[in-house]
Amino acid sequence: MEKAVGSMVSQIFENLVCLIRKFIFCIPNHIAFIMDGNRRYAKKRGLMEGVGHKVGFLALMSMLRCCHELGVRYVTVYAFSIDNFKRSPKEVQSLMELMQEKIDDLIKEESIVNRFGLRIYFIGNLKLLSEPVRLAAEKAMLATAKNSKAVLCICVAYTSTNEIVNAVKESIEEKWDEFCVLNASGAGYGLIKLGGSEGDEREQLIKLIDIEKHMYMAVAPEPDIIIRTSGEIHLSNFLLWQSAVCYLYSPSVLWPEISSQNRKDFVGRGLHVIDSDGTPTKHAFRDGIRLVDFLTITW
Ligand SMILES: CC(C)=CCC/C(C)=C/CC/C(C)=C/COP(=O)(O)OP(=O)(O)O
């Protein structure tokens, strides 16, 4: 009993800290990154494609340091989508080898992950990964399970549509008996009958089948902002369910160009990156997208 009260109090305290950080200091609780532009970075410099991804990994380390200094609690990165399996076998193999090598690096004692107390979750349809990569991912999740300062979600073999279909399937399986009762009493057509406005229907569906509980991303709250580098302004099947009320920001900088060497460190509490021509990226806000000046991100 005492333990339960203690954990409730610490949960309330933590939520309060998150709210203060978010609304007073304008620090997002959860930032998700689409790490785009690695091959273009390599091509621009006449390097082999794989080098772009290697520098991309260093950029990720730099960004994790940055988020740690800012006090961001959740970071999610899109590291490999299910669609990426359609790339040439050579590229897929080299990306998977890099992934395996870097996952092992992530859990070394002196790694940023351990120094900053990050708990790692691999998010996606992990069955699609080759055995060595899947085992490395499972090992990393286990090795960091006791870290509790912040969370790093690495999306691999992930697409949002796959996540949603999988969550619906799992939750219907779990609640199969209730669906049968609903249909037998004539309360529904097909599997379920929903009614009301669009928002109500989403809520009803959530209540009926607990869809969010079965999402791969159930380990993290919804992101406050998705940052996609390289100036692309689409989501590429990333966190579609979780981004319903999320901000999207798409600076033109290529992902590997984000680095602590380039970064002129913080301006106030802001993240700071350098654009591809070497100049600091300004507020390159695009028309039609709600953006994030309230986050004090200075580009
Ligand atoms: C362990 C771990 C988290 C490793 C991550 C390594 C890393 C940076 C992976 C990025 C993979 C990827 C397909 C990025 C998209 O850029 P792209 O290849 O599509 O480049 P482009 O946009 O220029 O075509």
Dist. CA 285–CA 263, nearest whole Å: 20
Could you report the predicted ipTM of this complex, rounded to two decimals?
Answer: 0.97
Report the percentage of the chain scoring pLDDT > 90: 44
Average pLDDT score over residue span 128-139? 97
What does the pLDDT read at residue 278?
46
| Pocket-testing residue among 34, 36, 38, ligand 1, by greatest number of atoms within 8 A of Cβ | 38
What does the pLDDT read at residue 162?
97
Average pLDDT in the chain: 78
What does the pLDDT read at residue 35?
95
pLDDT category of residue 105 using cuts at 50, 70 and 90:
very high
Dist. CA 76–CA 136, nearest whole Å: 18
What does the pLDDT read at residue 295?
33
pLDDT category of residue 168 using cuts at 50, 70 and 90:
confident
**Least confident residue range of 51-60, 63-72, 173-182, 215-224:** 173-182
Average pLDDT score over residue span 94-123? 95
Dihedral sign from CA coordinates of 275, 248, 234, 36: positive
More confident residue, 69 or 99: 99
| Pocket-testing residue among 33, 36, 103, 158, ligand 1, by greatest number of atoms within 8 A of Cβ | 36
Average pLDDT score over residue span 107-131? 95
Element (H, E) at 122: strand 118-123
List the residue whose alpha carbon is closest to atom 4 of ligand 1. 99
pLDDT at 271 over 90: no
**Least confident residue range of 29-43, 74-88, 135-149, 254-268:** 254-268
Residue in the structure block whose two tokens are 């309060």: 16
What does the pLDDT read at residue 231?
83
User: Among all residues, which ones are annotated catalytic?
Assistant: 36
What is the whole-number distance in angstroms between the Cα of residue 56 and the centre of ligand 1? 7
List the residue whose alpha carbon is closest to atom 6 of ligand 1. 57
pLDDT category of residue 19 using cuts at 50, 70 and 90:
low
List the residue whose alpha carbon is closest to atom 13 of ligand 1. 80
Dist. CA 261–CA 276, nearest whole Å: 14
- Enumerate the domain spans of the chain: 27-160+222-298
List the residue whose alpha carbon is closest to atom 10 of ligand 1. 79
What does the pLDDT read at residue 283?
34
What does the pLDDT read at residue 201?
65
Cα-based angle 50, 55, 58 (whole degrees, multiple of 5) = 135
- Terminal Cα distance for the chain, rounded: 48
What is the whole-number distance in angstroms between the Cα of residue 280 and the centre of ligand 1? 23
pTM here is 0.80
Q: Decide the pairing of beta strands 247-249 and 150-158.
A: unpaired
Dist. CA 84–CA 88, nearest whole Å: 9
What does the pLDDT read at residue 265?
34
Residues with a CB atom less than 6 Å from ligand 1? 35-40, 53, 56-57, 60, 79-80, 84, 99, 102-103, 154, 230
pLDDT at 186 over 70: no
What is the whole-number distance in angstroms between the Cα of residue 182 and the centre of ligand 1? 45
Average pLDDT score over residue span 163-192? 70
What token pair was written down for 221? Answer: 């709250």
What does the pLDDT read at residue 68?
83
pLDDT category of residue 16 using cuts at 50, 70 and 90:
low
Domain 27-160+222-298 superfamily per CATH: Decaprenyl diphosphate synthase-like (3.40.1180.10)
pLDDT category of residue 290 using cuts at 50, 70 and 90:
very low
What does the pLDDT read at residue 248?
81
